């Protein structure tokens, strides 16, 4: 969604209320795939501070799905945070600003990317997958857990014991 800052204040008001929903399917950050489960809701206000200066404040709420870093289980995370940004259309050189036209999606999603947690765990206590056999250690206890040996090699070890 694009807004021309010079036009929205043409009626003499200093505040412009912005309540909208932004659509985005997914993002890939550092090779991590995250998908949005519903449109991102924006409740905010743009305030005119001066001829070229504006302030953008908004509360954001969204949820996204990603994989647990340890066991690769699907996890849905709910996120809420606020943006408070000053914009000067005379000096700012930002991708979301073309002259006096503000691209709300670009501005908001830039902040969203910065605020997404780097680590995702399905549970703080997640035991993850066994590095040897790939078993989900939250569900079962595998045999290779103690000595860290591939089960295919375990028989060999027994053999050597007997020699
Ligand atoms: Zn997990
Ligand atoms: Zn194992």
The domain spans of the chain are: 2-125, 127-163
Neighbours of ion ligand 2 (CB under 5 A): 130, 132-133, 135, 142, 144
3-state SS of 63-127 is: EEEEECCCCCCEEEEEEEEEEEEEEECCCCCCCCEECCEEEHHHHHHHHHHHHCCCCCCCCCCCC
Cα 129 to ligand 2 centre (Å): 8
Average pLDDT over residues 96-112: 93
Please return the burial class of 46, using the count of CB atoms within 10 Å of its CB with bins 0-12, 13-18 and 19+: buried
CA of 79 from ligand 2 middle (Å) equals 34
Nearest ligand to the C-alpha of residue 138?
1
* Ligand 2 center to 75 CA (angstroms): 23
pLDDT band at 161 (very low <50, low <70, confident <90, very high): low
3-61 residue pLDDT tens: 999 999 988 889 999 999 999 888 887 788 899 998 999 999 999 999 899 999 999 99
With H, G, I as helix, E, B as strand and everything else as coil, classify residue 138.
coil
Cα(70) to centroid of ligand 2, in Å?
A: 14
Q: How far apart are CA 14 and CA 55, in angstroms?
A: 10
DSSP state of 136: B
Between the CA of 145 and the centroid of ligand 2 the distance, in Å, is: 5
Which ligand number lies closest to the CA of residue 127?
Answer: 1
Give the distance between the most distant pair of CA atoms in the chain.
93
pLDDT of residue 147: 57
CA of 135 to the centre of ligand 2 (A): 6
pTM of the model: 0.75
pLDDT in tens, 124-144: 999 999 999 999 999 999 988
Cα separation, 130 vs 14, whole angstroms: 59
Q: What is the mean pLDDT of the chain?
A: 88
């Amino acid at each position: 969604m694009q807004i021309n800052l010079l036009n929205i204040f043409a009626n003499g008001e200093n505040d412009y209320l912005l309540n909208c929903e932004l659509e985005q399917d997914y993002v890939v950050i550092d090779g991590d795939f995250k998908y949005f489960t519903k449109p991102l809701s924006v409740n905010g206000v743009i305030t005119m501070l001066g001829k070229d200066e504006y302030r953008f404040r908004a509360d954001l709420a969204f949820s996204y799905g990603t994989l647990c870093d340890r066991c690769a289980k699907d996890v849905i995370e709910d996120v809420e945070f606020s943006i408070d940004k000053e914009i000067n259309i005379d000096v700012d050189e930002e991708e979301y600003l073309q002259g006096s036209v503000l691209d709300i999606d670009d501005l908001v999603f830039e902040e969203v990317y910065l605020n997404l947690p780097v680590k995702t765990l399905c549970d703080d206590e997640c035991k993850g997958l066994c590095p040897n056999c790939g078993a989900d250690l939250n569900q079962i206890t595998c045999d290779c857990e103690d000595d860290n040996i591939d089960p295919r090699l375990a028989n060999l070890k027994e053999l050597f014991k007997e020699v």
